[in-house]
Amino acid sequence: MSYICDRCGEMIKDNELCTCLISEKKEALKKRNKKYYLRKKFTDNLTANILKSREIKEEINEFLSIDFNKISEDKYLNQEIAADIIYNKIKENKLIGIYGDYDADGITGTAVGYNIIKALGGRVTYYINDRFKEGFGICVSGVEKLAAEKTDLIITVDNGISGVEGVKKAKELGIEVIITDHHEPNEELPDALIIDPKQKNCPSKNKEITGVGVLFKILLEVCKKFNKEVIAKKEMDLVALGTVADMGPLTGENRTIVKAGLMIWNLDKGKSGIKRLIEKIGINKEISTYELGYVIAPILNAESRLMGRPEKSIRLLTNKNTDLIDKDIDYLIEINDKRKSMVEEQIGIGDQLIDPDKYLFFIYDQRITEGIAGLIASRLMETYRRPTIVLGKTREGFYKGSGRSTAKFNLKKALDKNSKLLLNYGGHNLACGLSVNEDNISLVKSFLETEGKMLLEKENNDEKIIIDWQLQTEDINKKTVDELCSLEPFGIGFNKPVFIVKNIDIKNISVLKEIHSKFNYQGVDFIAFNQLLQRGRYHVIGFPQINKYNGRENYQFLIREVIAEDTEICELET
């Protein structure tokens, strides 16, 4: 049976929606209503108010400083035992193998482990799985290859918490294993010494540290035993990179790590390979969390996404084969460009398969490349603000991919409920990886979509715009900008503050390069990138900053959006 759509005249099969209606529903999902909230004003001190309103409990000076005691005082379950084992293995000249994951967190963690142990005089090697052939986590084939090198101790980084079979093989071969991970544990744990802030009875307060951060803290203790703490601190550029790339919240010890790491990036530019990469891609300004997360990390990630194993990425971070640095960097940039074009192409495939009536999007298709499934899921989740799982078909015939979610839907818990239908899975509340047999794919899709509906059906689709502070034009000055600079770094968990300047008379607008707008009001320049503004009286939302050009400095306001004067702005309840 079929019928003709009375909207567009196309022939439609019975029980199916016309593509015109699907497109209309998808556009409605994108066009979320915006609701504006101004944070409560507790004090006239800008910094104090931002910290208090965001429920940051540290004192101002403590928050703004780099205090290594934060890292050293917060302990994990089994952390000191692990540090003793590693210290003794180095002293005994035993070969230590770092078993890392193939994403930026695991790559940087592997490099940090290799660099520190080598600098301490230890014998060290590393192994990272081929994404397509071996999959995620410590596996039998990887253990066997490390065993062939006569490895005495394996230390995992950013993986291992679900590596039951890999650890079992290591024990059979007489290799000791230390698991360092930050993912949520499953019911069955590997038979090894485990250091994971999310494991039961772990006293650590920072449950949101990344994989590289966990290993770094253990190796910092090892360095202290050698009275060579400076060796660990030299690696904080890579720890910061992995923390930002894996979206670690920038509060507590994560913030200390990233702030200290950025100092190395901007004073010394870190490892020689990284210095050359920065030159090649043309970064000629101070490096921030943006450059780490959105420019450098994707280049390091691209190799494993497309080729399977990040051989050249890890070589770049460990300064191995320095004669090949330029050749490796050119290769990584080329692979990343190819990755970008593949994502753009396959985003379209994923978007076509979305059912806008679902509260969770579960997409699987043989045209999707499993290595970029997580990027596609992330982009679709950001566009539609719905949990999204994207799977591609592997060479072996099963489906494998990743999921991304909002804070309202815990992916790991949802997968736990369906664990018996999955070949493998892992992750946390906001991100996951999974693989499913073709025979079970429809059932898993149905169960997860039902779970999404049960938890999210009552949620509205409004976008909440939170404004930190109201400024007057006279407040857009050196004092304000310097105060905001002292609050950096900004990122996940500590977003860049948002400001509003009310009742701005926009006129005498200059159009820059046909797509940008600029105007001056009461002596202050207001800039709107990729927006063509209209004359009139508005509130403007954005961020004050310093503009340096030809040796001159002036303070301006970068506009994020312009809203009507009569827009309702509510006080945010805390």
Tell me the domain boundaries of the chain: 1-30, 60-335, 353-456, 468-571
- Do the beta carbons of residue 558 and residue 545 sit within 8 Å? yes
Beta strand spans in 317-406 (E) = 361-365, 388-393, 399-404
Nearby residues of 410 by Cβ (< 8 Å), 6 or more positions away: 429
Domain formed by 60-335, architecture: Alpha-Beta Complex (3.90)
**Which has the closest alpha carbon to 532: 548, 519, 551?**
519
Nearby residues of 441 by Cβ (< 8 Å), 6 or more positions away: 364, 391, 399
The pLDDT of residue 430: 87
Instruction: For residues 506 and 504, give the distance between their C-alpha atoms in angstroms, rounded to a whole number.
Output: 6
Both structure tokens of 340: 């970008």
Fold entry, domain 353-456: Diaminopimelate Epimerase; Chain A, domain 1 (3.10.310)
- 119 burial type by CB count under 10 A (0-12 exposed, 13-18 middle, 19+ buried): middle
201-223: burial string, b at 16+ Cβ within 10 Å, e else: ebebebebbbbbbbbbbbbbbbb
Q: Which helix (H) or strand (E) holds 560?
A: strand 552-564
Strand pairing category for 176-180 and 193-195:
parallel
Nearby residues of 396 by Cβ (< 8 Å), 6 or more positions away: none
The pLDDT of residue 171: 97
For residue 123, give the 3-state DSSP assignment.
Answer: strand
Both structure tokens of 59: 């004192």
- What pTM does this model have? 0.91
Domain formed by 468-571, architecture: Beta Barrel (2.40)
**Which has the closest alpha carbon to 379: 414, 347, 332?**
347
Residue 431: count of CB within 10 angstroms of its CB: 20
Successive 10-residue mean pLDDT values, the chain, 574 residues: 63 64 81 90 93 89 84 91 98 98 96 98 98 93 98 97 96 98 92 96 93 97 96 95 94 93 82 85 90 96 96 89 86 97 95 93 96 96 94 94 92 93 88 94 96 87 90 95 94 94 95 93 95 95 88 89 94 77
**Which has the closest alpha carbon to 451: 362, 329, 549, 571?**
362
- Do the beta carbons of residue 239 and residue 107 sit within 8 Å? no
Nearby residues of 275 by Cβ (< 8 Å), 6 or more positions away: 269
The pLDDT of residue 472: 95
